[in-house]
Structure 1
């Protein structure tokens, strides 16, 4: 509830600052009353992720709306969701791309990447206490990723946390051939 109030307040501030701005003040080349800049600052502070002018605000808004949703194996609603359903929902709604439903099948759709080559929107895969891929999330930058954790629900975590560092397998970027094959226009 508090999260929704804060988000509504942000939207109201963005709208008011745009509507009532008489002059535009510039700081470091960015307009202070720019709604996208305000949203970037908000998500940077609330989510602990460096969100800048090149970031996909739609991605951060989507994740913010799901933060705290409980984990439910096989779930795909706000009452409960698992990691692959959360990742699939992001790709559907934010990137207008349909990906497969489980983490192993999703991995078959990507060009594997090392941790150093990850960019915002790439996928991160884990082999948690398993020989095969068992977990997936969305990379946000600064070693942070959003995912549906089995113990904490939808959260933002750090790849450098000992737990995730231990089980990290690879990153991945969805191949263009799959984007065309699965995307509905």
Structure 2
């Protein structure tokens, strides 16, 4: 017997035969474009969700598809069953993002997965601006400085809606060690003589970051001699 309950802002599916509850919340995410603001409805986990070995249903299917998109679920076939391979993928994700690695996809884990997916989208979009010229104080596709580029993309996807300096961004979110960097985290540098943070970029993985430098938007090597000596720290703001 299946019962479905729907609400304007959310939906819950109750599978009474399995004793498993899958809940989904639906929210509108605004993405800013040059032609205006587009609004799209996305499915995000509700706060009461918790998946573990034995859970099954549409929510588990989506979870596994999300894990596959992020590179954690490596199997070609995605089913609707939370099996031991799903648990292994969740534990790996949790360990990478500083969560309790218990293999249970609870609210904190599901929320972090949604953040990681949005960061993935932001980084994919960032690639479209490679070659855009450097412009001091710039924060539009006509030209960016480093903080202008970061703030432009964060604002475009509704993460952070302020145009601020690298030094101000450096005070946001949570600090990270270099070894804990994940795609979408922010990396900061001291380039000037004052020793203050004055440059920022998006970490893209594999010890690389994307930023607006003197030659324009490009991907840089974090562990190069120049950038390594200028590295000031990292933050996770989303």
Report TM bin, short chain: 0.5 to 0.7
TM-score (norm 1): 0.61
What does 1:35-46 correspond to in 2, within 5 Å?
Answer: none
Matched residues in 1 for 2:233 and 2:162: separation? 17
Displacement of 1:100 in angstroms is: 4.7
Question: Match of 1:115?
Answer: 178
Q: Relative contact order (alpha carbons < 8 A, sep ≥ 6): 1 or 2 greater?
A: 1
Matched residues in 1 for 2:227 and 2:190: separation? 10
Q: Which runs of 5+ in 2 are unaligned?
A: 1-73, 78-115
Aligned counterpart for 1:133 among listed residues 173, 182, 197: 197
What do residues 26-67 of structure 1 show as CA deviations (whole Å, max 9, x unaligned)? xx6347xxxxxxxxxxxxxxxxxxxxxx76542233112111
Matched residues in 2 for 1:117 and 1:133: separation? 20
Give 1 or 2: higher helix fraction. 1
Runs of 4+ aligned residues of structure 1 deviating over 4 Å after TM superposition are 54-57
Matched residues in 2 for 1:65 and 1:72: separation? 17
Question: Match of 2:211?
Answer: 147
Deviates more, 1:90-99 or 1:112-121: 90-99
Give 1 or 2: higher strand fraction. 2
The yes-or-no answer on 1:93 pairing with 2:156 is: yes
Larger Rg computed on CA atoms: 2
Q: Measured at CA, do residues 162 and 95 of structure 1 come closer, stay the same or move farther in structure 2, by a change above 3 Å?
A: farther
Matched residues in 1 for 2:231 and 2:159: separation? 26
Question: Match of 1:79?
Answer: 142
Matched residues in 2 for 1:100 and 1:111: separation? 19
Displacement of 1:97 in angstroms is: 2.9
Which secondary structure state, in structure 2, belongs to the residue aligned with residue 121 of structure 1? coil
Displacement of 1:93 in angstroms is: 2.2
Q: Which runs of 5+ in 1 are unaligned?
A: 1-27, 32-53, 180-185
| Contact residue 120 and residue 183 of structure 2 kept, 8 A | no
What does 1:1-185 correspond to in 2, within 5 Å?
Answer: 29-30=75-76, 56-94=119-157, 96-130=159-193, 131-149=195-213, 151-174=214-237
Q: Measured at CA, do residues 30 and 154 of structure 1 come closer, stay the same or move farther in structure 2, by a change above 3 Å?
A: farther
CA RMSD of superposed structures (Å): 2.0
Number of equivalences: 125
Matched residues in 1 for 2:123 and 2:234: separation? 19
Q: Measured at CA, do residues 119 and 157 of structure 1 come closer, stay the same or move farther in structure 2, by a change above 3 Å?
A: same
